Structure 1
Amino acid sequence: MNIDPNTVAKVVAILHEEIVPAQGCTEPIAIALVAAKAREVLGTVPEQVRIYVSGNIIKNVKSVVVPGSGGMVGIETSAAMGIMAGDCTKDLMVISDVTEADMVAVRKYLGKAAFEVVHEKTPVKLYVRIEVVAGDRSAEVEVKYLHTNLTRVVQNGRVLLDRGFSPESFHTPEEDRSVLSVRLIYDLAKSIDLELIRPLFQQVIVLNCAIAEEGLQNAYGVNIGSSILKNIEQGIYGDDLRNRSASYAAAGSDARMSGCPLPVMTTSGSGNQGMTASLPVIKFARLKGYAEDDLIRALFLSHLCTVHIKTQVGRLSAYCGAMCAAAGVSGAISFLMGANYDITAHAIVNTLGNISGIVCDGAKPSCAMKIATGIYAAFDSAILASLHKDLHGGDGIVGSDVEATIRNIGELASKGMEQTDEVILKIMTSESGHGVFRPPVN
């Protein structure tokens, strides 16, 4: 097959834009990044910190442990760590070098500085603005649409950066996502020069497998991954590809959502999506004995399908992003099993037609359970497609083909779930919560 070299270059650029390393859940890290930048612009430690955040940021920061914090959660914690221990030049690795001594300083700072959190009523789903003051100095830093996308920087009332950005901008920070289709992704997975993508996906394998192993071996969250594995070993669950793959993917999320400092390779701004798109595919390929070249091609397909679906859904919404990745996994499993394009596309449609009602109620330890659910559905969908058992257009939200189905999912997530998102946030913010520290898991 002959694919235009310019198209190949665009797709590879999209991969490098969307698959990047990050430590910890990306929403707390975005707050830490903005806070670190605000301190840099201010030139000293702030005495007053006012944090403006969108509802989806609140939702994804409320219950997830900030890495390196010793079990602390929350918006103020994230900002304080960025201010006292952050390096804003490191993007999503902004607090990767935090030490115990830094955390002593962070705790003291939280008790000393004046913090205020404001829910910014904005249609922008991913929005963080931090205003800081120290004496007669002031600074303001804003990020929106993308976790690392600085759109406004102000120092002592003087505007240093003011970049106009539209709601669609996250689709095209550099490369136009409209070039993507499942057909193109499948054809490229078959034909792309592996040396263009091998280094990136080798990094995905190394980093994401490391945190999965950590999650299996140690206590994090409610240990969904290791619990599945334990039930396999006890003969309660079958020792099969489906259970092993679900266990592996969930274990990575167990660790990440509970503050493990190990970095992961994210996809579409999410570590959980990055782990979902990669870990079950890696486990499946290794258990079946596929060559690394085949695995790299399957990871290419899984990640790009995730990006393609997420482009329609939006960066943050009430739609669980891990389900987008699960659909990519179903396509990758089919691809590894030698499926043609039609079967691969049907596997993706089967997955989307099954689990598209799963909502995002914030980043937290139970995300691992949703990931396991998504992986089980991905395997079921791939197997059904291999048997030519497919969901058909007109069956609920399933469209006439895979692209129509993806568009329907995007409309469901971006328009149909707006009120759902508001209700979820209202429920979450009306609960008493658990303060600065997560309670211990018994």
Structure 2
Amino acid sequence: MQFTVKDVLSIQVAPALGCTEPVAIALGAASAMSLLPSPTFDTLEVAVDPNVYKNGLAVSIPGAKGLSGLDMAAALGATGGDPALRLEVLQPINDTFVAAAQKAIADGKVTITLLKDQHGLLIRSRATSGTDIAESVIEDLHDNITSLTLNGLPVNSPLIEHREEGAPSPVAEMEEWLKGLSLTELIALTDQLDDEDYAFLQEGVDVNMRLAEQGLKYGLGLGVGKTLERLVRQGLIKKDMMLAARILASAAADARMSGVSLPAMSSAGSGNHGLTAILPIWAIKDYVDDVETKSVLEAIALSHIITAYVKAHTGRLSAICGCSVAAGAGATAGITFLLGGDATHIAGAIKNLMEDLAGIICDGAKTGCALKLATAAGTAVQAALFALQGVNVHHTDGIIGQSPEETMRNVGTLAVDGMIQTDKTILNIMLEKQFNEV
């Protein structure tokens, strides 16, 4: 099947309120609750795969006063979530719902189960009220509800994405198509952008900039962005193109990871990917003479496309930090494009970034992600500038391939095949910490 750039943007880029793993858990719980005749539940059981568990364990939930946890995400979704809002399911949450969720957890009504042997994204939610049992299943993608049942009988609902049995999801089909394209063909997709696409890309900038502004104003989370800005004002470091990118990306992550009730424009299923894919490019535009907004938005479109391409190889969730290797690759491609680079320069920038950041692990979503976004954003600029100056990593180095396509495939192999045990070890460390804290 042939796709267009509009298809890529509509399927891969969407607003998400809060970290997408706890939000997906909330969506599953809210979807199950929507089937029950009663607005309250007696029990809520949620089973998740290891990567959803890892990413949802420690990150703050939007609208929940800094509270975190898989059980809290599920309880909030069940008490006040609106499943029709998909990845913005927690938009209606207020203090009353937070109190109800806390009480449900205190009363022992919420149970979370880790499906240790599950590969791929899976969230199964089961809510009971009296004799009624409602169940929802989310698979492969954070908002892909594949099954809803009430008392064992299937429920026909607009929440479910209907497709022929055995047919791939639109995202899976698109990813297979993307993997067959060359870098030149990926770049050429930006020629298809129309006014509607430009408006959507600008919306993504505006949404993510609001998060960055919150982070810079209030020093939320770890306060990485605000601290970098303060160091500039104190004259301890100088603000250049790389630092500008680091400040915007990390400030937005500070706000998002601390639970601010503002959506992020996500990319390839991740809000933090969206911050990395968009904000470094928006930051460096101020250092480029006579650049048109349209050109900046084209660069951001390319960033989303390359991010989706890398994620097609690595999978949605893995032991590798996708903000670094996927969205970072997208950002450096977009930056190189905006600075006047051609396909050869973009190829070099992607290889440079992969050599630099491919080993960064994903140890779950949390406030510390702001540090990783700062690193990814700064390295994305550096990789682009190096490539434009003729500095390119050689294909004889490590996992770097002859082409950028081969390099990105190699990173995918590293993530999917090479780091399975790493992923398990990371989760075991996190679980042991949680057990010791209790």
For the residue of structure 2 that corresponds to 1:110, the secondary structure is helix
- Superposed displacement of residue 394, structure 1: 2.3
CA distance in 1, matches of 2:435, 2:266: 27
Q: Which residue of 2 aligns with 1:396?
A: 398
Query: Which stretch shows the higher mean deviation, 10-19 or 117-126?
Result: 117-126
Q: How is 1:353-372 mapped onto 2 (pairs within 5 angstroms)?
A: 353-372=355-374
Q: Which letter does structure 2 place at the counterpart of 1:33? A: L
- Superposed displacement of residue 220, structure 1: 1.4
Q: Which letter does structure 2 place at the counterpart of 1:138? A: I
Q: Deviations over 1:201-260 (max 9, x none)?
A: 011011000101101111311111111111111121112111011011000001101101
Q: Which residue of 1 aligns with 2:131?
A: 136
Q: Which letter does structure 1 place at the counterpart of 2:86? A: D
- Cα distance, 1:107–1:169 mapped onto 2, change above 3 Å: same
CA distance in 1, matches of 2:359, 2:275: 21
Q: Deviations over 1:404-440 (max 9, x none)?
A: 001101000011011100000000000037989xxxx
For the residue of structure 2 that corresponds to 1:213, the secondary structure is helix
CA distance in 2, matches of 1:169, 1:421: 27
CA distance in 1, matches of 2:174, 2:137: 16
Q: Are the aligned partners of 2:183 and 2:347 in contact in 1 as well (CA < 8 Å)?
A: yes
- Cα distance, 1:301–1:215 mapped onto 2, change above 3 Å: same
2:326 matches 1:327: no
CA distance in 2, matches of 1:335, 1:363: 30
Q: Which residue of 2 aligns with 1:148?
A: 143
CA distance in 1, matches of 2:92, 2:132: 27
Q: Are the aligned partners of 2:76 and 2:98 in contact in 1 as well (CA < 8 Å)?
A: yes
Q: Are the aligned partners of 1:141 and 1:154 in contact in 2 as well (CA < 8 Å)?
A: yes
Q: Deviations over 1:165-220 (max 9, x none)?
A: 6998752279843354421122233x334424212101101100010110111131
For the residue of structure 2 that corresponds to 1:280, the secondary structure is helix
For the residue of structure 2 that corresponds to 1:236, the secondary structure is coil
For the residue of structure 2 that corresponds to 1:172, the secondary structure is helix
CA distance in 2, matches of 1:393, 1:89: 48
Gaps of 5+ in 1: 1-5, 437-442
Match for 1:42 among 36, 57, 73? 36
Q: Which residue of 1 aligns with 2:119?
A: 124
Match for 2:107 among 99, 112, 117? 112
Q: Which residue of 1 aligns with 2:173?
A: 172
- Cα distance, 1:50–1:175 mapped onto 2, change above 3 Å: same
2:123 matches 1:93: no
- Cα distance, 1:341–1:173 mapped onto 2, change above 3 Å: closer
Q: Are the aligned partners of 2:5 and 2:189 in contact in 1 as well (CA < 8 Å)?
A: no
Q: Which residue of 2 aligns with 1:350?
A: 352
Q: How is 1:30-429 mapped onto 2 (pairs within 5 angstroms)?
A: 30-44=24-38, 45-112=40-107, 114-160=109-155, 170-172=171-173, 176-178=177-179, 180-189=181-190, 191-289=191-289, 290-323=291-324, 324-429=326-431
Q: Are the aligned partners of 2:175 and 2:308 in contact in 1 as well (CA < 8 Å)?
A: no
Q: How many positions carry a matched residue from both structures?
A: 429
TM-score, with length taken from structure 1: 0.92
CA distance in 1, matches of 2:37, 2:418: 44
Q: Deviations over 1:367-419 (max 9, x none)?
A: 11011111221122111111111112121000010110011010000110111
User: What's the C-alpha RMSD, in Å, of the aligned pairs?
Assistant: 2.1
Q: Deviations over 1:139-185 (max 9, x none)?
A: 11110110011122221011337986699875227984335442112
Q: Which residue of 2 aligns with 1:13?
A: 7
Match for 2:22 among 20, 28, 46? 28
- Cα distance, 1:247–1:433 mapped onto 2, change above 3 Å: farther
Q: Are the aligned partners of 1:132 and 1:139 in contact in 2 as well (CA < 8 Å)?
A: yes
For the residue of structure 2 that corresponds to 1:244, the secondary structure is helix
- Cα distance, 1:132–1:428 mapped onto 2, change above 3 Å: same
Q: Are the aligned partners of 1:125 and 1:317 in contact in 2 as well (CA < 8 Å)?
A: no
- Cα distance, 1:168–1:201 mapped onto 2, change above 3 Å: closer
- Cα distance, 1:303–1:309 mapped onto 2, change above 3 Å: same
CA distance in 2, matches of 1:169, 1:317: 21
For the residue of structure 2 that corresponds to 1:197, the secondary structure is helix
Q: Are the aligned partners of 1:171 and 1:177 in contact in 2 as well (CA < 8 Å)?
A: no
TM-score, with length taken from structure 2: 0.93
Q: Which residue of 1 aligns with 2:159?
A: none
For the residue of structure 2 that corresponds to 1:266, the secondary structure is strand
Q: Which letter does structure 2 place at the counterpart of 1:336? A: L
CA distance in 1, matches of 2:74, 2:411: 34
Q: Which letter does structure 2 place at the counterpart of 1:46? A: F
Q: Deviations over 1:316-358 (max 9, x none)?
A: 0001010111111111111111111101111111101111000
CA distance in 2, matches of 1:434, 1:226: 33
Q: Which letter does structure 1 place at the counterpart of 2:345? A: I
For the residue of structure 1 that corresponds to 2:264, the secondary structure is strand
